[in-house]
Structure 1
Amino acid sequence: MTDAPNSNPQTLDPKSSAIQEERDITGSKPIDNTEEKLPFEALELTEPVAKALKDMGFSYCSPIQAKSLPYSLSGHDVLGKAQTGTGKTAAFLVAAFEDLLRQPPPEERFAGEARALIIAPTRELVMQIAKDAKAIGKYTDLKVHTLVGGMDFNKQLNALHSQHVDILVATPGRLLDMCERREVYLDQAEVLVIDEADRMLDMGFIPQVKRIVRMTPQKTHRQTMLFSATFSNDVLRLSEQWMHEPVTVEIEPESVATDTVEQLVYLVSSDEKLPLLVNLIHQPDVKNLMVFANRRDECRRLHEKLRNKGFRVGLLSGEIPQGKRLKTLEDFKAGRLQALIATDVAGRGIHIDGVSHVVNYMLPEEPEDYVHRIGRTGRAGNSGKSISFACENDAFRLPAIEELLGRKLVCEQPPEHLLG
């Protein structure tokens, strides 16, 4: 393990105004303003990884990449505070690939024995990480496997047995199941990545994750990277348990709530929400629309009401089978749906360019989820609009959102033509 760079990680942060539109690698444009950005070539990456990044059109690091990669590439544990859409996926994937490429694999390897493990809270996020991993690793012979619930168990098992497991991306439940069946072994893992730790806590996965971490080498014998949108006391306690002298890097939420997203709050009664949403869908500038509610049952009822009115709408929530979720996403990307109704858990980690509008049908219970929601639009340099419906039941959540954003939101009565 080499020494950390001499510079403090904060000094690697480009000016925020120059990098506000940076996104995760998949489906995004490189940034034109390169004056103070850290080029990937300065990191002296291995040729296969450098070539793949170049193919993908990326020459410069986003802030989270610029802050974390000089340390993670040196073998240090990294504790990162970053939202979805800041480039954190590429930050830990590049580090993982570099570690595996620079260290020869063991001479004797067993089926299901992972060299790098990435744990994420949702199936969609696992599939997206794996897709990014395959793009970054396309010039290597490293094999990427996924384990998620709700998909064919035997198919995933056969894949584990058919080729070596270099990078394993998994949700906690299915991974633990495979480990307990002795189909997956984690005792040789060189790299451990825990993505969206705060969401793991919210979803009750931490007991499972703790059992999984105990199956990996002790923390001084592996590299651990943990990313979270927030540094709650619970997240920090977990980092102390799982990480060895980590370098902490932070990207503030303001860099995600970009200037490319126009944010409005419509003050309405609860009875006005549905007709307001119906009229919004009919507006000529609404090309494709994501609508967020807080719970599965609320999303299900809203989806049913819109379908009954003749709209082509999709539903994304934890209760929808994985195959149907993937088909819904494809239909939405292809423009076959007018709107997509989603919970925060299902909406996390989804990368779709061209979303013109995001509607917060209900204001989120956690302020951080507001930032995740509006990050679905205004991507890849395009403009977008976020419209929140604030009624008597949830308007009290606005001050916490504004405090997180560091700015006041425009609150107004909706135009008459949207209520008629």
Structure 2
Amino acid sequence: MHEDIVAALERVGIRHPFPIQEMAIPLALAGHDMIGQARTGTGKTLAFGISLLQRVVLADEPGYADLGIPGAPQALVVCPTRELASQVSKDLSTASTVRRARVLTVYGGVGYEPQLEALAAGVDVVVGTPGRLLDLVGRRALNLKQIRMLVLDEADEMLDLGFLPDVEKLLAQTPPRRQTMLFSATMPSAIVGLSRRHLNQPMNIRAESAEDTTTVPATTQFVYQAHDMDKPEVVARILQAEGREKMMIFCRTKRTAQRVAEDLAGRGFAAAPIHGDLNQSQREKSLRRFREGQVDVLVATDVAARGIDVTGVTHVINYECPDDDKTYVHRIGRTGRAGATGVAVTFVDWADVTRWKVINKALGLSFETPVETYSTSAHLFTDHGIDPGAKSRVAPPKEVEDRPEGSRPPAPAERERPREPRPRRQRSRRRTHNGEVVREGAASAPTSAQTSPSSPQSSPSSPQSSPNGTAEGSAPRRRRRRRRGGGGGDGQTTAGQEQSS
């Protein structure tokens, strides 16, 4: 391998390249299109990243002025999620400390101004998500006519039905004579056939033998059939397992991820959520705090299941059964990376047993019948080296990190504050009986004016003195219902008729 490439790998801490790097880098430097497949955590990012950095022409090198559009990007890396795009860009920036290639990250959820300024100043490599890339192309701020190398990271997800239209639009903006490379841990045959339409005589590289499993052998896997109401208790016990450092918990929905993070924080664990309901700054804050060790439990949806590389992740929990075998492989691939060991625990509900059997058969695992497990099961403590006296709460409740705006509950002090007595209001209401004002303390018996209908005071037209000295009618005039119809028929009553009656 070339000395510059070896030095670049050593700068990122790799002294002995993985098989995918040894096989892919020479072919990529030669300009061949390829489809690369390798397990998670085996350095696929640097397999194409080192090749990009070696082939781009920098501003201070000969031949830069001969480019058709100086300052336009020469390499493009497309990623399915913002977190993966940020990590790939960071790895490329670290590997290019000698050549000083200008790497720009573009994704949604952040302002346009820094990205527009960087594009105007000139970049060499652009890493981004499809939505923001197309947006910048539509604004004519990003020119892809000079792209020489195009990489689709996590290609099986990029070429899925949801991303395929955007990917094809981006491919249409690039030159036909480009080098295209696809990398992923899982590459179904249907996706391979679809990708061949966009590649020119691609070479298929698989860095394992046919007998190797898709999952990482260094990851110890456990599959438990657990009840949904008992899962928080089981997770609280596993968080106290022997040798546990950082843990990632994957949930199927955003609401479940937020609820689990709040529950763990209430039990005293340092947990932070990351899901689509959080804005980009909150998601980056949660991931940064998890990397730095300020929180050791990250509860996430599948936005963090693709390509996220955090050192020290010893445990991964599938809080709910994954949808398919690809999701399972990528989730548990967050641990046991780069030769390290890890533990993966999967919870299977009674309704998901059939789905799990399909995943188990597709991956060739030996967990066809999950073990029924509760928080008090003896094998749970034995499997993970948990102290038999471990409880579900380890410390006073902690505030959960990065709760979505508008959904923060009131502080406990506010909820527990005793209710203050409500002051009595002075009301000035008049008591009436059949339209007449009744004096306070007066008997409720009807007056003579009310009992004798022939009395002159009972006539609506005769005034009567009110208790406060004002004259008013003894009985208010009642509104009569009028029939709807035409003409002055018998159904209508005029004011004169009402007075004469």
- TM interval, short-chain normalised: 0.7 to 0.9
The equivalences for 1:266-277 within 5 A come to: 266-277=224-235
1:86 matched to which residue of 2? 42
Identity of aligned pairs, percent?
36
Q: Do the aligned residues in 1 keep the contact of 2:11 with 2:94 (CA within 8 Å)? A: no
| Aligned mate of 1:145, from 78, 100, 104 | 104
Counterpart selection for 1:68 from 13, 20, 24: 24
Partner of 1:188: 146
Structure 1 segment 122-133 matched on structure 2, within 5 A: 122-133=81-92
Q: 2:474 is matched with which residue?
A: none
**Counterpart Cα distance in 2 of 1:136 and 1:255:** 30
**Residue 231 of structure 1: how far off its partner (Å):** 3.0
* 8 A contact 2:74–2:125 mirrored in 1: yes
CA distance in 2: counterparts of 1:319 and 1:191, whole angstroms: 34
Change (3 A) 1:191 1:382: closer
Of 181-190 and 271-280, the range deviating more from structure 2 = 271-280
Question: Deviation at 1:130?
Answer: 0.7
Structure 2 CA distance for aligned equivalents of residues 104 and 85 of structure 1: 36
TM-aligned CA distance change 1:152 to 1:224, over 3 Å: same
- TM-score (structure 1 length as normaliser): 0.81
Return the offset for 1:109. Answer: 6.1
SS of the aligned residue for 1:356 comes to: strand
Report the equivalent of 1:37: none
Please give the secondary structure, in 1, of the residue aligned with 2:56. helix
Shift of 1:233: 4.9
User: How has the CA–CA distance of structure 1 residues 383 and 236 changed in structure 2, closer, same or farther, with 3 Å as cutoff?
Assistant: closer
Alignment partner of 2:230: what SS?
helix
List alignment gaps of at least 5 residues for structure 2: 382-390, 392-501
Where does the alignment leave 5 or more consecutive residues of structure 1 unmatched?
Answer: 1-42
Give SS of 1:117's match: strand
Q: CA deviation at 1:176?
A: 0.4
1:91-149: CA deviations, max 9, x gaps? 11122122225993343565762101110111111111111111221110321111111
Pair 1:231–1:287, CA change in 2 (3 A):
closer
**TM-score (structure 2 length as normaliser):** 0.69
CA distance in 2, matches of 1:259, 1:230: 16
Aligned residue identity for 2:366: K
Residue of structure 2 in register with 1:288 after alignment: 246
Report the equivalent of 1:387. 345
How far 1:284 sits from its partner (Å)? Answer: 5.1
Q: Distance in 2 between matches of 1:380 and 1:194?
A: 22
Structure 1 window deviating more from structure 2 (375-384 vs 286-295): it is 375-384
Matched residue, 2:175: 217
Tell me: CA distance 1:183–1:274, structure 2 relative to 1, closer, same or farther (3 Å): same
Return the offset for 1:216: 0.2
The residue aligned with 1:318 is 276
Q: Give RMSD over aligned pairs.
A: 2.5
How far apart are 1:193 and its partner, in Å?
0.7
Please state whether the residue corresponding to 1:270 is helix, strand or coil.
Answer: coil
Is the alpha carbon distance of 1:108 and 1:92 closer, same or farther for their aligned partners in structure 2, counting shifts above 3 Å?
Answer: closer
Structure number with larger C-alpha Rg: 2
Q: Which residue in 1 is equivalent to 2:329?
A: 371
Q: Which has the higher contact order (CA 8 A, sep 6+)?
A: 1
1:306 to 235, 245, 264: 264
For residues 142 and 166 of structure 1, the distance between their equivalents in structure 2, rounded to whole angstroms, comes to 6
- One-letter code aligned to 1:342: A
Q: Secondary structure at the match of 1:59?
A: coil
Counterpart code for 2:261: H
What amino acid sits opposite 2:377 in the alignment? Answer: E
Note if contact 2:35-2:204 (Cα within 8 Å) is conserved in structure 1.
yes
Aligned equivalents of 1:127 and 1:111: distance in 2? 25
Contact 1:314 1:328 in 2 (8 A): yes
For 1:273 and 1:111, the matched residues in 2 are separated by 57
How many equivalent residue pairs?
Answer: 373
Moved more, 59-68 or 407-416: 407-416
Which structure 2 residues correspond to residues 111-130 of structure 1 after superposition, within 5 A? Answer: 113-130=72-89
